[in-house]
Amino acid sequence: MPTETERMLAGELYDPSAPELVADRERARDLARRYSATSEAESAHRETLLRALFDAVGDDPAVNPPVRCDYGYNVAVGDGFFANFGCVFLDANRIAFGDRCLLGPGVHVYTPTHPIDPEERATGRERAEPVTVGDDVWIGGRAVLNPGVTVGDGAVIASGAVVTRDVPDRVVVGGNPARVIREIE
């Protein structure tokens, strides 16, 4: 029988109150709290904590605290990753950023989703869908990426955009819900 963690990562309904998941979230929150308590002068210590928190970290990561995440072990960031102050990664499933991704302040990335049916939702069970961000993507401040979206290489997500569906390569999207504003030549 699969564990709740296995169900979560498979995109199936899972119970987030399962003790194994509660312990994993506590571990991630402790690491994020410790990371967020560091100063800019502690760059080596910051990188050590970030590598303990996230599943994979490329070269030269920069994350301005505070940072928040559910599990951490489902987040992967490529080379030259930069996240400005106050980013949130709800990583009940995989969140993968390519190389040279830039995140403005307060960017939120969500993988968990709840059942639409109120009786099913009342059970407390939820699902999670992965979010994938390509290389050379710039995500403006306060943008939100919703469960299951893929953002193509070279895309720009405007500040405050709410991304509810996939974003093609080399476009600028904005609005709520986000739509293509223009292509990038």
State the average pLDDT over residues 167-174: 98
* Residue 68: both structure tokens together: 């928040």
Any idea of the CA torsion for 28, 33, 147, 157, to the nearest 10 degrees?
-140
Residue with tokens 């709800």: 90
Per-residue pLDDT of 61-90, as tens digits, reads 999 999 999 999 999 999 999 999 999 999
For residue 22, give the 3-state DSSP assignment: helix
With cut-offs at 50, 70 and 90, classify the pLDDT of residue 45.
very high
Cis peptide bond N-terminal to 66, omega within 30: yes
Residue with tokens 């509810």: 164
With cut-offs at 50, 70 and 90, classify the pLDDT of residue 91.
very high
CA distances in angstroms from 142 to 14, 26, 40, listed in the order given: 28, 25, 23
Mean pLDDT of the chain: 97
Confidence at residue 72, expressed as pLDDT on a 0 to 100 scale = 98
Per-residue pLDDT of 124-168, as tens digits, reads 999 999 999 999 999 999 999 999 999 999 999 999 999 999 999
Active site residue: 45, 114, 121, 182, which one? Answer: 114
**Cα(75)–Cα(38) distance, integer angstroms:** 20
Identify whether 114 is a catalytic site residue. yes
Instruction: Report yes or no: 110 and 149 within 8 Å, Cβ to Cβ.
Output: no
Please give the model's pTM, rounded to 2 decimal places: 0.97
CA geometry: angle 133, 138, 143, nearest 5 deg: 80
Instruction: Report yes or no: 65 and 84 within 8 Å, Cβ to Cβ.
Output: no
With cut-offs at 50, 70 and 90, classify the pLDDT of residue 101.
very high
User: What are the beta bridge partners of residue 110?
Assistant: 90
Confidence at residue 177, expressed as pLDDT on a 0 to 100 scale = 98
* Residue 69: both structure tokens together: 């995440």
How many residues in total does the chain contain?
185
CATH architecture entry for 4-183: 3 Solenoid (2.160)
**CA-wise closest residue to 48 among 35, 33, 30:** 35
Confidence at residue 30, expressed as pLDDT on a 0 to 100 scale = 98
Share of the chain above pLDDT 70, in %: 100
